[in-house]
Amino acid sequence: MKIIAFSNQKGGTGKTTICVNLAAGLVKLNERVLIIDLDPQGNSTVSVGINLKPDDLTVREFILGEARIEDVMVDSYMADLSIIPSNPDLAHVEIEIANKSKNQFYLKRAIENSKEVLKSFDYIFIDCPPSLSILTINGLCASNYVLIPVLVDYLSLQGLSNLLETIEQVKKKLNPGLEILGIIPNMLDYRLKITEESLELLKENFNEKVFKNGIKICSRLRESPSFGKAIFDYARNSQAAVDFLNLAKEFKRRLK
């Protein structure tokens, strides 16, 4: 079982999109995946077709140790993809644990206490919120690897150095085992000159950390969450379906 955080403090870089569709791609390759939705916006929860009722238990109770994993984990419409869902209540956790000691390790502890259930999964994906908040730190502290979705334009690449600094700090002080699995270029639009230029820059700076199989811009990816479906089930002949299957294969190769 390997735990991977999807992180970038910038919103809209594709953390959720890649978390959900890479997970679905891995399911196609016969792997079992659990997504932990660590964003109060609950986008990955909705993206796999989960509609929570007001009283449903969520990742909040899981993190706080108030609910067992069996009571928070739900099956998605895919047999081998489960999720610990999130809703806006999760935002309160930040305040609830703000003054607690070792508040970086709540998620890690919850995961460790659930080993028996979790060992049947090949991968645990943590979809982090778009901030460097205590929730994101919890995600990074609970993980073996971090995956960084980026847009390839000037401002996005500038933000990358902040993130890498944070990851370095977490590695040094909190989670020495954390490794950057890679940077995934997203919304690639080869009609724009800036795309090739920025990709070059990214590769110059981060070499083999940059995934060869990025994700091209594809309107079907914007539509699929509202149907609660991964790209393979919403638009299986789309460019994005091809891209995500290739990404899933590269992901597996990198983890070997």
Residues that bind ligand ADP (CB under 6 A): 11-17, 43, 130, 186-187, 215, 217-218, 221-222
Q: Does 10 bind Mg ion (CB under 5 A)?
A: no
CA torsion, points 87, 125, 19, 230, in degrees to nearest 10?
-80
Residue placing its CB nearer to Mg ion in the complex, 21 or 43: 43
Q: Does 138 bind Mg ion (CB under 5 A)?
A: no
82 binds, among Mg ion, ligand ADP, none (CB under 5 to 8 A by kind): none
Residue 56 CB, shortest distance to ligand ADP, in Å, is 22
Of the listed pieces 7-15, 25-33, 168-176, 245-253, which binds Mg ion according to CB under 5 A?
Answer: 7-15
Near Mg ion in 25-64, by CB under 5 A: 43
Cβ 55 vs Cβ 85: under 8 Å: no
Q: What is the DSSP letter of 42?
A: -
Q: Does 17 bind Mg ion (CB under 5 A)?
A: no
Phi, psi dihedrals of residue 214, rounded to the nearest 5°: -80, -175
Q: Does 16 bind Mg ion (CB under 5 A)?
A: yes
Region label for 214, one of left (φ > 0), alpha (ψ between -120 and 50) or beta (otherwise): beta
Residue placing its CB nearer to ligand ADP in the complex, 67 or 90: 90
Residue 3 corresponds to which tokens in the numbers above? 């735990």
Residue placing its CB nearer to ligand ADP in the complex, 57 or 217: 217
217 binds, among Mg ion, ligand ADP, none (CB under 5 to 8 A by kind): ligand ADP
* C-alpha to C-alpha distance for 69 and 74, rounded to whole angstroms: 9
Return the SS3 of 104.
Answer: coil
221 binds, among ligand ADP, Mg ion, none (CB under 5 to 8 A by kind): ligand ADP
Residue of 50, 206, 35, 194 whose CA lies nearest to 121: 35
What is the secondary structure of 58-78 as a DSSP string?
A: -HHHHHTTSS-HHHH-EE-SS
* C-alpha to C-alpha distance for 215 and 13, rounded to whole angstroms: 11
Residue placing its CB nearer to Mg ion in the complex, 114 or 240: 240
Interface residue list for Mg ion (CB under 5 A): 15-16, 43
